[in-house]
Structure formats: C-alpha cells, structure tokens
C-alpha cells in the first residue's frame, strides 16, 4: 500500500529524518518512505530495518525514527536457484552492504528486496532491485542478507553495484545455504564476502 501525506507550513529545508508514530494496536510495517520539499526534485529516502509500528509493546514500537543514509544508488540482482523448491513467495530479504573507503568500513542498509509488480524469487530467475539514498560504501566487500518472511529461499548469486562504481561485486552461495526464519529449514542471516 502507498500512503501519501502532505505538510503545509514553514519550509524546513532538506528532510534528514522522519519520526513515525501510532496509537493503533494493529501492527504495521513501513518498508520505505520518500520525502521532498514542495517545489524541489531532491528526494530523501528512508528504509525500515524490519521494525513494526504498534502501540502494543509485544507487537512493535509506538514510535520509529528513520534517517537518511546518504545519496548513493545501488542495484542488486538476485539469481534464484533452479532447485525444485528454491523459489519463495514470502521471504522478505534485506541487505547490509559493507565496503572500504580508505581506512573506513562504511555500511549501507537496504529495505526489503521486493517488487510488488512482479512475482519475486521464482525458481531459476533473476530479479533486480534499486535502492536510492544509501551510504556510499566505496569498494563493496561483503553483504549480509537477512530473511524476515516465513518461507525458505535458495539463491545462487547476488550481484551488487553502485551508481558511481559500476564494477559489480558478485556473492555466490557456494555452500548452497538456504535462507529461512525457521532454523529447521535454513539460516535467517548469511554473510558473504568477495
């Protein structure tokens, strides 16, 4: 679902953070938010890292602060295994991208790898996802993929490159590790380095 809101009032300049709050007991998860000033084309992107909003403490948090990470755009292409059960309809993966700039080791956090216009993670198929407004990590060294859905998924490879550094980093699932939130089916988090 897409939720749109508009604020009228004093121009506050570039939007750096959003604070979302709820008094509803129903839980709700925002994947990403995009904000911009009226009359401006410069957008700020905010990605949730798997936190539900709810006034019920067992369901989530009643207030969530999301801040802009940076200005880099990343392209992530996943290749799902051709294994008979390799595909998934309900895996909801997200990535932590780690890199190297000089002596620094910055990280960028994506939202969910999900395109509502298509059936993602089908057996033997590639899916590409674009994330804007992330931290520039420089040369990409590692990814950590986390699954939040209640299904299992087997991928062969994940390719990552940024807008500024078009040379992609390839992360192959050579051990054929399944991703799943169910420990009997696989691991919920997997770190791969190139």
Q: What is the mean pLDDT of residues 9-21?
A: 82
| pLDDT value at 1 more than 60 | no
For 37, the 3-state DSSP assignment is: coil
Split at pLDDT 50, 70, 90, the class of 36 is confident
Provide, for the chain, the percentages of residues in helix, strand and coil under a 3-state DSSP scheme, each rounded to the nearest 5.
Answer: 0, 45, 55
**Model pLDDT for residues 124-170, shown as the tens digit of each residue:** 999 999 999 999 999 999 999 999 988 999 999 999 999 998 789 99
Burial of 120 (0-12, 13-18, 19+ CB in 10 A): buried
Phi first, then psi: what are they for 32, rounded to 5°? -150, 155
- Distance separating the N- and C-terminal Cα atoms of the chain: 36
β-bridge pairing 169-172 and 93-100: unpaired
Residues 183 and 147: their CA atoms lie apart, in Å, by 12
pTM score of the predicted model? 0.88
């Amino acid at each position: 679902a897409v939720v749109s809101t508009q604020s009228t009032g004093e121009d506050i300049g570039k939007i750096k953070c959003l604070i979302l709050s709820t008094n509803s007991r129903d839980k709700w998860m925002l994947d990403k938010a995009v904000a911009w000033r009226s009359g401006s084309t410069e957008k700020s992107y905010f990605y949730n890292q798997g936190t539900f909003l709810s006034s019920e403490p067992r369901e989530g948090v009643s207030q969530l602060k999301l801040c802009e990470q940076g200005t880099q755009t990343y392209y992530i292409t996943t290749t799902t295994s051709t294994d008979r059960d390799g595909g998934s309809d309900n895996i909801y993966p997200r990535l932590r991208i780690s890199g190297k700039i000089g002596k620094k080791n910055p990280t960028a956090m994506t939202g969910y790898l999900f395109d509502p216009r298509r059936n993602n993670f089908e057996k033997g198929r590639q899916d590409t996802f674009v994330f804007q407004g992330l931290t520039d990590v420089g040369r990409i060294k590692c990814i950590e993929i986390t699954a939040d859905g209640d299904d299992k998924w087997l991928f062969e490879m994940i390719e990552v490159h940024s807008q500024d550094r078009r040379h992609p980093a390839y992360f192959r699932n050579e051990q054929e590790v399944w991703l799943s939130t169910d420990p009997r089916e696989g691991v919920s988090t997997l770190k791969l380095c190139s």
